[in-house]
Amino acid sequence: MEKKLINESNKYLMSTYNRYPIVLRKGRGTRVWGADGKEYLDFIAGIAVNCLGHCHPRIVIAIQKQAQRLLHVSNLYHIEPQIELAKLLVENSFADRAFFCNSGAEAVEGAIKLARKYANDHAYHDKYEIITAYGSFHGRTMGALSATGQEKLQKGFEPLVPGFKHVPFNDIKALEGSITKNTCAVMLEPVQGEGGIRIPSPDYLKQVRELCDRNNILLILDEIQTGIGRTGKLFAYEHFDINPDIMTLAKGLGGGIAIGAILASESVAASFQPGTHASTFGGNPLACSAAITTIEILLEDGFHLANCEHLGKYFLQKLNKLQKEFPSIIVEARGVGLMIGLELTKTGGSIVEKSASRGMLINCTSGNVLRFTPPLIILEKEIDRLIDVLEDIFEREPH
């Protein structure tokens, strides 16, 4: 059955993904099962999406109840779960207002529009440029792709959308030197995800905030991967003692259901008025109900956030021991919470494949960084199982 499905996938779907030869059929908690019945421990979690694991019972129940009431209505009307979700996010963040869409790329596109509209509204008509970082990833739509600081992803899609500059990540002097009278915003990931789990120095984002304030430009934080508890706090900006002007969310927000969001301060959000931005499916009742439940679970007694921070440290400790054992293969382990990377001296694709054959689903980004974004409910003993598998794989690798 699995082979038949893979053959049909290769026949009927566009070839936009290098898929592993696995068809996943069922998931519960930290585990998934293939069509052939094989069990896997999932250390990818849909690329940081299933933050509470697969099919969390409370999220499933919330979806079931909402599906019986109302699936979709237009934003021509007020939507009760959307209102409740907006209130929940605003009351637990820097923001005053929320806008809902369906994905991270959509959230980034909306943030770009909002920043430019704000500059225009305040008579800065020549302020349109947005500065982002090399190694960043902001999405695959044309605006988000143009903002992304990875030339390899942009190749073949030229001409890109104008008005974006890129500077080295974690280099405040380079950023300062790139600001001109045309700059309206700086957009950064607090921790670069697709860029290889790159963590800035402790004072970098605070310096960026001060630089933006001095130059009267907005700070946009792309928290699509870092947000919703992934780093041990509800939002990663909390680690750096700053507030952005605009923040984008998606991935973990719906606990497995597609939803994106733009959060902003009151003065900035005011630039979005009727007719300036919209989304047919954005903030639909089903997605918002899943997101409400996800946020409520994460906030209950702070358990999952504290657990994420503890397990992240435990995970890094184990990976650091591996690095000492295999210094010719492993450069370093780094991460915040359960957003962790293991940089190798070689490409990591074969390690991912070998791990999958041993029942462990991991990911490789930037060519040589193994990325781990497991559900926040992962257990120490499950981390130990992965470490044992990696240790055995590295022992068999040519040094």
Instruction: Please tell me the distance from the alpha carbon of residue 225 to that of residue 243, in angstroms, as a whole number.
Output: 17
- State both tokens at 195: 């860029």
Q: What is the mean pLDDT of the chain?
A: 96
Residue 171: CB atoms within 10 A of its CB come to: 16
User: Is the pTM value of this prediction over 0.95?
Assistant: yes
pLDDT for residue 392: 97
Give the burial string for 95-116 (b: 16+ CB within 10 Å, else e).
bebbbbbbbbbbbbbbbbbbbb
pLDDT single digits (tens) 129-184: 999 999 999 999 999 999 999 999 999 999 999 999 999 999 999 999 999 999 99
CB 138 within 8 A of CB 148: yes
The pLDDT-based confidence of 6 (bands split at 50, 70, 90) is very high
- Position 331: which residue type? V
Query: If we measure between CA atoms, which residue out of 138, 251, 194 comes closest to residue 369?
Result: 194
- State both tokens at 374: 């497991």
pLDDT for residue 397: 86
CB 336 within 8 A of CB 357: no
Instruction: Please tell me the distance from the alpha carbon of residue 166 to that of residue 192, in angstroms, as a whole number.
Output: 14
Of residues 2 and 182, which shows the higher confidence score?
Answer: 182
pLDDT single digits (tens) 289-324: 999 999 999 999 777 798 899 999 999 999 999 999
Strand ranges, E, within 111-259: 129-133, 164-167, 183-188, 218-222, 246-249
Query: If we measure between CA atoms, which residue out of 391, 389, 320, 395 comes closest to residue 355?
Result: 389
pLDDT single digits (tens) 16-69: 999 999 999 999 999 999 999 999 999 999 999 999 999 999 999 999 999 999
- The Cα-based distances of 313 to 189, 258, 317, 319, 353 in angstroms read 21, 29, 6, 10, 26
Return the C-alpha torsion angle 324, 326, 330, 331, nearest 10: 50
- Residue ranges and CATH numbers for the domains of the chain are 2-51+303-379 (3.90.1150.10), 57-301 (3.40.640.10)
CB 135 within 8 A of CB 196: yes
Contacts 24+ apart (CB under 8 A), 310-313: 311/338, 311/376, 311/378, 311/380, 311/383, 312/231, 312/232, 312/336, 312/337, 312/338, 312/339, 312/340
pLDDT single digits (tens) 62-117: 999 999 999 999 999 999 999 999 999 999 999 999 999 999 999 999 999 999 99
**Which positions are catalytic?**
137, 222, 251
